[in-house]
Amino acid sequence: MIGYQAENHLFTLHTRSSSYQFMVDPSGYLLHTYYGPRVGGGSFAYRLRQADRGFSPNPNSEGHTRTFSLDTQPQEYPSSGVGDFRIPVLEVENADGSRAADLRYQSHVIRPGKYALPGLPAFFAKEEDAQTLEITLEDPVTGLRAVLYYGVIESRDMITRAVRIENAGDKPVALTRVMSLCLDLHQGDLDLITFDGRHTGERHPHRRRLAPGIQMVSSTRGATSHQHNNFIMFCAPDAGETHGWCLGAALVYSGNFEAAVERTQFDTARMTLGISPWQFRFTLAPGETFTAPEAVMIFSREGFSGMTHQFHRAIRDNLCRGEWAHRRRPVLLNTWEAAYFDFDSEKLLEIARCAAETGVELLVMDDGWFGTRNDDRGGLGDWFVNEQKLPGGLAPLVHAVNELGLDFGLWIEPEMVSEDSRLFAEHPNWALRIPGRPATRGRSQLVLDFSRTEVWQYVYAQIKKVLSSANITYVKWDMNRSLTDVLSAALPAERQGEVYHRFVLGVYAMLEQFRKDFPHILLEGCCGGGGRFDCGMLYYTPQIWASDNTDAMDRLLIQYGTSFCYPVSVVGSHVSAVPNEQTGRVTGLDTRAAVAMAGTFGYELDPRSLSVAERQQMRLEIDRFRHLYDLIQYGDYDRLTDPFAPGPFTAWQQTAPDGSAALVTVVTGMARSNDAFATVYPRNLLPDALYSVNGADAVRGDVLMYGGIPLPHVGGDYRAMQFELTRQG
Ligand code: DGJ
């Protein structure tokens, strides 16, 4: 609910359990007053304190009053170059070379429903479930306008932000930094949590106390990156899973980003989130506009799990679209780790036959089916079937796989081109390259210039033809290198700072076209595993391959970090062969299955290499996953332990929203001789309800939560246990 008090120019945005407030001051500045637990009403304007602070200048409109400075006031969308020296939010270069903007309130409008952003992903809600506040600010000197969008999705505790910059002046202006979100918190003694890592080790949480100065994570790789996620958290220093306040913020975007926070001289904190300003420069001619992507926030006073539950619901119900958003996803078997590039129709059919016996529902043919793609040095860009491997094209193979009772899916990597390809021979300047400079390769491939509509449309037309040639029900959209040599042959020198962003817009445009033409195809995102795992992609692909690391023990860490923002239903997770291809570790099939059940669940191995007993076990595990499907995919997710902290096991829980059932999964670490008795403590049960654990006599919910479930001594390393709690009364 969005409230406006005209007499004191105060805006209050209420969600189910949080409130967010700011006001327009007499000079037209938007000053932030509060973000925290929901309040019944009232003004927090008294929190805005003013004093004459040395070296904090005063706007001219204040006359000679020295107590008001933009440098010290908490603001909503601060201008730069006119007296605020904290992390800038908007930076411009005006036609006269000056770098100042001074945005003041002009007007506002409150509307039912949630705004959408043209060409960009955004959370959505039914008209009656959301509201939008649009505030127009203007620089009186240049005519530059900023339209701030606030969306409130009340039941999800979600506040969304976006901004549209309009050049309403009569001269061009260059934007060099446009953050989507600025949050000026009134206290600086906070912890910041970021989710960081590397290829095959993504989204490990790192928590630290804010120190004076700027702390930042970012990506300059053209995609969100394996190194830092564009979801971050703040919390009270004493906050944890079930207590203390915290807030999470995510950028709904899949390109370069920057998340920065400054603990200021007066012990407040400013957080900014948006497109990375690195190499960014977007020129607006008079009348032109630029829309910055959406950023979203959820506040919880019930610790991290409260925030996580709300992010999970919002991503499932207010971000993932199309028929697959809520449809039961198939248990798939992907051929990558089973065959790599070495396959033909016959081999695939043998794999499919074997997979069908174990209950697998979908066969995914990964990389290597097109052009001359026999290794990772050639073929990208040539999206026609390699008939030496698949005689007669896709149709006969897909038909035969369908006859076995399996659906069929395939892998694509549309944004890339190999130098050894027909596409590159015909259109060498369609790749991002700097004339006169040798091209930088990544995985022996170059990046196509998706900022050019004709380039992505050409690639799409080829792929569309292939997809229309057979009964394809799933596509994995991969991206296997970072962007370098970023220069578009289609833009003049002064517009090259737009290419990174225009590239992302091209990717989104092709994804949108794909969704329109193939609404029945389940799209899974991928970027060498989890290098583009973000809310932007989830608007188009309702699941994303979480990591190229399929080792169960490493996955515990990756999936733990991922779970803070992203729900199980979007986390691509498979059982692979042992010794694991990435770590060489050996874990039991049951452990690998239990870990993959904290995701979309599937297989990434050659079932023909399994023993009869293992295949029987595989069948049982697939049946078990099907039986637990709704609980796993739609249950409220709780992290019961922190796998980065020392301890004998890692545990998590999925609980039906009505409390009628729960699944507790435990995975032990290295075995220790004569170890202490271990107990796992479930959460989130109905205290008065009776639950049976794996079919045993029923016990009260509160007894289970406070007394815990004793873990049997199972012996051996990396053992998994699952406890199914079923309400009996
Ligand atoms: C990287 C992906 O993450 C893998 O799963 C696989 O699809 C390869 N690319 C194929 O090249």
pLDDT in tens, 639-666: 999 999 999 999 999 999 999 999 999 9
pLDDT range class, residue 729, cuts 50, 70, 90: confident
- Residue 335 CA, ligand 1 centroid: distance in Å: 10
pLDDT in tens, 548-568: 999 999 999 999 999 999 999
DSSP letter string over 126-155? -GGGEEEEEEEEE-TTT-EEEEEEEEEEGG
Q: Which residue has the tokens 């590397």?
A: 198
> Looking at residue 714, which CATH number applies to its domain?
2.60.40.1180
Is residue 326 one of the residues assigned to a domain? no
Q: Is the shortest distance between the CB of 526 and ligand 1 below 6 Å?
A: yes
- How buried is residue 118: exposed, middle or buried, by Cβ count under 10 Å (0-12/13-18/19+)? exposed
Q: Is the shortest distance between the CB of 449 and ligand 1 below 6 Å?
A: no
Which atom of ligand 1 is the closest one to the Cα of 476?
7
Q: What tokens were used for 352? A: 């499919």
Is residue 324 one of the residues assigned to a domain? no
In the predicted structure, residue 359 carries a pLDDT above the cut 90: yes
Q: What tokens were used for 89? A: 């939010």
Q: Mean pLDDT over residues 608-627, rounded?
A: 97
396 in Cβ contact with 349 (< 8 Å): no
pTM comes to 0.98
Q: Residue 593 in 3-state DSSP? A: helix
CA–CA distance, 420 with 494 (Å, rounded to integer): 32
DSSP letter string over 406-470? -EEEEEE-TTEE-SBSHHHHH-GGGB---TTSPPPPBTTBEEB-TTSHHHHHHHHHHHHHHHTTT
CA–CA distance, 584 with 582 (Å, rounded to integer): 6
Q: Based on the domain organization, do 574 and 699 belong to the same domain?
A: no
Phi, psi of 625 (to 5 degrees): -60, -40
Please report the sign of the dihedral spanned by the C-alpha atoms of residue 537, residue 113, residue 135, residue 144. positive
Which amino acid is present at 308? T
530 in Cβ contact with 546 (< 8 Å): yes
Which amino acid is present at 373? R
Q: Mean pLDDT over residues 213-233, rounded?
A: 98
Q: Based on the domain organization, do 623 and 642 belong to the same domain?
A: no
pLDDT of 212: 98
Closest alpha carbon to 556 in 332, 331, 316, 718 = 718
Q: Which residue has the tokens 């309800």?
A: 689
Q: Mean pLDDT over residues 65-82, rounded?
A: 95
Closest residue CA from atom 10 of ligand 1:
367
pLDDT of 53: 96
Which atom of ligand 1 is the closest one to the Cα of 526?
3
Closest alpha carbon to 78 in 29, 38, 7, 45 = 29
- Residue 58 CA, ligand 1 centroid: distance in Å: 55
Average pLDDT, the chain: 97
Q: Is the shortest distance between the CB of 480 and ligand 1 below 6 Å?
A: yes
Closest alpha carbon to 178 in 197, 158, 190, 161 = 161
Q: Residue 65 in 3-state DSSP? A: coil
DSSP H or E run through 369: none
Q: Is the shortest distance between the CB of 367 and ligand 1 below 6 Å?
A: yes
Tell me the Cα Rg of the chain. Answer: 27
Is residue 427 one of the residues assigned to a domain? yes
Q: Residue 184 in 3-state DSSP? A: strand
pLDDT in tens, 187-213: 999 999 999 999 999 999 999 999 999
Ligand 1 pocket check: which of 199, 200, 226, 367 to mutate, most ligand atoms within 8 Å of Cβ? 367
Q: Based on the domain organization, do 656 and 598 belong to the same domain?
A: no
Is residue 144 one of the residues assigned to a domain? yes
496: which residues sit within 8 A by CB, 6+ positions away? Answer: 281, 486, 487, 488
Q: Residue 113 in 3-state DSSP? A: coil
Closest residue CA from atom 6 of ligand 1:
336
Q: Which residue has the tokens 């990506």?
A: 219
Query: What number of other Cβ atoms are within 10 A of residue 102's Cβ?
Result: 23
- Residue 617 CA, ligand 1 centroid: distance in Å: 27
CA–CA distance, 235 with 218 (Å, rounded to integer): 20
467: which residues sit within 8 A by CB, 6+ positions away? Answer: 475, 518, 521
Q: Mean pLDDT over residues 230-248, rounded?
A: 98
333 in Cβ contact with 607 (< 8 Å): yes
Q: Considering 602, 620, 635, which residue would you say is the last residue of a domain?
A: 635
Q: Considering 293, 318, 343, which residue would you say is the last residue of a domain?
A: 318
Is residue 670 one of the residues assigned to a domain? yes
Q: Is the shortest distance between the CB of 411 and ligand 1 below 6 Å?
A: yes
Domain that holds residue 436: 332-635
> Looking at residue 186, which CATH number applies to its domain?
2.70.98.60
pLDDT range class, residue 79, cuts 50, 70, 90: confident
64: which residues sit within 8 A by CB, 6+ positions away? Answer: 58
Q: Mean pLDDT over residues 118-144, rounded?
A: 97
- Residue 247 CA, ligand 1 centroid: distance in Å: 34
- Residue 607 CA, ligand 1 centroid: distance in Å: 19
Is residue 325 one of the residues assigned to a domain? no
Q: Based on the domain organization, do 312 and 336 belong to the same domain?
A: no
Which atom of ligand 1 is the closest one to the Cα of 527?
3
Closest alpha carbon to 541 in 226, 196, 254, 257 = 254
Q: Based on the domain organization, do 573 and 651 belong to the same domain?
A: no
Closest alpha carbon to 334 in 696, 563, 90, 601 = 601
At CA 562, angle to CA 237 and CA 574, rounded to 5? Answer: 155
pLDDT of 316: 98
Is residue 136 one of the residues assigned to a domain? yes
Q: Based on the domain organization, do 217 and 262 belong to the same domain?
A: yes
Q: Based on the domain organization, do 259 and 363 belong to the same domain?
A: no
Closest residue CA from atom 2 of ligand 1:
528
- Residue 376 CA, ligand 1 centroid: distance in Å: 10
Q: Based on the domain organization, do 591 and 531 belong to the same domain?
A: yes
Q: Based on the domain organization, do 148 and 169 belong to the same domain?
A: yes
Residue 422 Cα to chain centre, angstroms: 34
Q: Based on the domain organization, do 488 and 440 belong to the same domain?
A: yes
Q: Based on the domain organization, do 590 and 690 belong to the same domain?
A: no
Closest alpha carbon to 48 in 20, 81, 25, 28 = 25
Closest residue CA from atom 1 of ligand 1:
528
20 DSSP β-pair partners: 13, 35
pLDDT in tens, 59-69: 999 999 999 99
- Residue 691 CA, ligand 1 centroid: distance in Å: 42
In the predicted structure, residue 307 carries a pLDDT above the cut 90: yes
Q: Mean pLDDT over residues 355-378, rounded?
A: 97
Question: How many Cα atoms sit within 13 Å of 5 on the Cβ side?
Answer: 14
Q: Considering 635, 654, 687, which residue would you say is the last residue of a domain?
A: 635
Total structural domains in the chain? Answer: 3
Active site residues: 534, 614
Q: Is the shortest distance between the CB of 572 and ligand 1 below 6 Å?
A: no
Is residue 185 one of the residues assigned to a domain? yes
> Looking at residue 522, which CATH number applies to its domain?
3.20.20.70
pLDDT in tens, 656-710: 999 999 999 999 999 999 999 999 999 999 999 999 999 999 999 999 999 999 9
Which amino acid is present at 689? A
pLDDT of 464: 98
**Burial code of 695-704, b = ≥16 C-beta within 10 A, e = fewer?**
eeebbbbeeb
Which atom of ligand 1 is the closest one to the Cα of 336?
6
What is the share, in percent, of the chain residues with pLDDT greater than 90? 100
In the predicted structure, residue 160 carries a pLDDT above the cut 90: yes
Q: Based on the domain organization, do 409 and 361 belong to the same domain?
A: yes
39: which residues sit within 8 A by CB, 6+ positions away? Answer: 19
